[in-house]
Amino acid sequence: MVSKTNTLAALCIANMLTACVDIEPSVRPFTVEVLAFTGNDPTTGAGNYALRPVELPALLSVDPMYDSIFRFVEQPNIDLDALSKLADLDQVLTSVRSAATYVPRLRDLDGTLVPRDLMSLQTVSAYAAFRTAADAIPEVTGLPRSAIIPASGLQVWVKPVFTQGAATTRMETNAFYLPYTDSFGLLDSSSLERRPIGALGPVVTHEFGHHLFHRSFTQADGVCDEDAPGGNYPGRFASDRGIAGINEGFADWTAFVIAGATNSLIDAFEPEVGNPGERAIDVRFAYATKFTYQTLARCTGDYYCVGTLFARSLFEAFLARSGEPSDRQQRMAASRNVFAAMVAAPLHMRERTWPRPDKACAAELSTAVDDEVVSGFLGAFVAGLPASDRASVCERFIANFGDTGFKAEFRGACL
């Protein structure tokens, strides 16, 4: 190590400043120290984590950082107005493509690349979790990876800069997924966080779950066409508040399936920021906030609460079928059925005639959660499940959503 440092120093001095950049710190496969999620604590339900080296065989380069699927993009400029219109997304994508690929600050310690700062730790940890999720696609969905990953790959925006007119802002304390751009985002951390959000495996796999939702439900629903008449136009459900909740619940379910996490946010924030109990999908833990569709007021998270009920129902049905949460194969088998049902759900929903909503094809969500849409979705989802799973899922949907969120007339597939 000493002699390597001396060699680098000599190189650097000899070639002045230019030799000091672009030093590839290690050879492939890269071994990188990351923040790894190692499972839920069986007593508290919180996540267990370790700072430890992991080998990343698919990573092609760390300086800059990319592989055959993911490219980490350094501070792309994102026009929020363009982002809100599907027609202007090319402008966003052009901006992202022209941005530089992110270079994490790493140091080589005995062959292990160790991040020097929090954002570098966040990016390499996120990469490890994203790649694990991408590699698991055939098991999670039953489809080849090429059916889920776009040919142009996926982008991860690191510290994006958002502009709207003359205003520019750098947001913090979040990670996100943006459908139609095939992009994820990692923002700067803050002291509102307990652990850096973008470094947490459950959060990253939750975001990847949004991509799976986009490639299943949203794609089957179609690209919104506001010129189409009536209430069954393509993309009818994309902007529905209840469906946005289901999207969140499906993402939490994905975090469970891929990472084994039963709460994607419990480790992210300080207790005074939000209530992690509202996002627990395993209500056997004491910290879990217990509520149903009839008592949604006990949950403060707006449509996310609908999602939690959906994820809880899937998890509880999994347990009812004697599923073991720590058994990866069992989780994957359950996931494939859920994914197939998610693809089929919009098609089943269209078997009835829907009224036209107040905000057809709007950029923002509908004003309120529509009980009819939630019920329609749940009924359609059950119709797409194999017969062996229907009874357990129906029982939990009825228990959690009751007669309001899962109206009797939509329970045909449960009979």
Residues that bind other proteins (CB under 8 A): 5, 8-9, 12-13, 16-17, 20-23, 25, 33, 35, 38, 46, 48-53, 63, 103, 105, 107-110, 112, 114-119, 121, 159, 170, 172, 188-191, 193-196, 199, 270
Nearer to other proteins, 85 or 107 (CB): 107
- Within the chain, how many helices (H) and strands (E) appear? 12, 13
User: Could you tell me how many residues make up the chain?
Assistant: 415
Query: Rounded to an integer, what distance in angstroms lies between the CA atom of residue 401 and that of residue 183?
Result: 33
Q: How far apart are CB 19 and other proteins at their closest, in Å? A: 9
Q: How far apart are CB 363 and other proteins at their closest, in Å? A: 28
169 neighbors 87 (Cβ within 8 angstroms): no
Q: How far apart are CB 106 and other proteins at their closest, in Å? A: 8
Nearer to other proteins, 121 or 414 (CB): 121
Nearer to other proteins, 159 or 390 (CB): 159
Q: Which of 119, 125, 51 is nearest to 133 (CA)?
A: 125
25 neighbors 106 (Cβ within 8 angstroms): yes
Q: How far apart are CB 186 and other proteins at their closest, in Å? A: 12
Strand partners, 223: none
81 neighbors 88 (Cβ within 8 angstroms): yes
Nearer to other proteins, 119 or 341 (CB): 119
Q: How far apart are CB 195 and other proteins at their closest, in Å? A: 5
Q: How far apart are CB 273 and other proteins at their closest, in Å? A: 11
Q: 201-213 and 118-135 helices cross at what angle (nearest 10)?
A: 50
Nearer to other proteins, 50 or 347 (CB): 50
Provide the sign of the torsion angle of the four alpha carbons 222, 227, 231, 237, taken in this order. positive
Which DSSP state fits 19?
A: G
Q: How far apart are CB 15 and other proteins at their closest, in Å? A: 10
Is the N-terminal amide bond of 29 cis, ω within 30° of 0? yes
Residue identified by tokens 């597939």 is 413
Q: Enter the tokens of residue 252.
A: 């939490």
Nearer to other proteins, 7 or 94 (CB): 7
